[in-house]
Amino acid sequence: MANRLTDRQKKKIVADYLELGSYNAVAKIHGVSRQTVKNIVTSDTEIGHKLQQKKAENTADILAYMESKRGLVCEILEKGLNVLNDEEKLREATPAQITTALGTLIDKWAAVSGSAASESREDDPITKSLKEEAAHGAE
């Protein structure tokens, strides 16, 4: 007969599931079957709320990290734009490299310049930064 899991082990399984989001991964960590993990997780009546809370925390962490790197991102963008505008680099580039760079630049610029699609959703921090840079450049 298999050993019963303690309440502490069950709580750890639920916590690991919240972190990893995978029955299989948690089962491997704890040396139990996928079905055991699923049974424990689904028997937790607050799991839906916990999952939403964990997802919101992860999203907030990612957005905070992106915001903390805003200056660096703007610096990288500035350097990249300078390289794209360098006459010598343009002479050395192949037509495929130039068209790829232009296509990417046009796509990203369209996303930040007020197209209807971009106005229908909230902007992420990098897009907000690009819009602010574009606004300051136009002044």
Ordered alpha helix ranges (H), the chain: 7-20, 23-30, 34-43, 47-68, 70-84, 87-92, 95-112, 116-119, 125-138
The residue range of the domain holding 87 is 69-138
Q: What is the mean pLDDT of residues 86-98?
A: 90
Residue 19 confidence (pLDDT) above 70:
yes
Same domain, 78 and 91: yes
Mean pLDDT taken over the chain: 84
Locus of tokens 């369209």: 110
- Contacts with 16 (C-beta within 8 Å, 6 or more apart), sequence order: 25, 26, 29, 30
Both 54 and 99 in one domain: the answer is no
Please give the residue that has the higher pLDDT: either 3 or 27: 27
Closest CA to 50 of 42, 38, 61: 42
Domain match, 55 and 77 both: no
Q: Which candidate, 80, 68, 66, 77, places its Cα nearest to that of 123?
A: 66
What per-residue confidence (pLDDT) applies to 64? 92
The reply to whether 43 and 79 lie within a common domain is: no
Q: What tens digit of pLDDT does each residue of 38-54 get?
A: 999 988 888 878 888 88
Residues ≥6 apart with Cβ < 8 Å to 133: 74, 77
Please tell me the total count of domains within the chain: 2
pTM score, two decimals?
Answer: 0.43
Residue 119 has pLDDT above 60, yes or no: no
16, 35, 68 - which closes a domain: 68
* Domain identity same for 100 and 122: yes
In contact, 77 and 137? CB cutoff 8 Å: no
What confidence tier does 116 reach under pLDDT thresholds 50, 70, 90? very low
Is 43 in the same domain as 75? no
Indicate whether 38 and 10 sit together in one domain: yes
Residue 22 phi, psi dihedral angles, 5° rounding: -135, 120
20 in the same domain as 64: yes
Residue whose tokens read 């009546």? 45
Evaluate if residue 91 carries a pLDDT over 50: yes
Final residue before a domain boundary, out of 13, 40, 68: 68
Residues 40 and 83 in one domain: no
* Residue where a domain terminates, one of 20, 40, 68: 68
* Residue 60 pLDDT: 92
- pLDDT higher than threshold 60 for residue 138: no
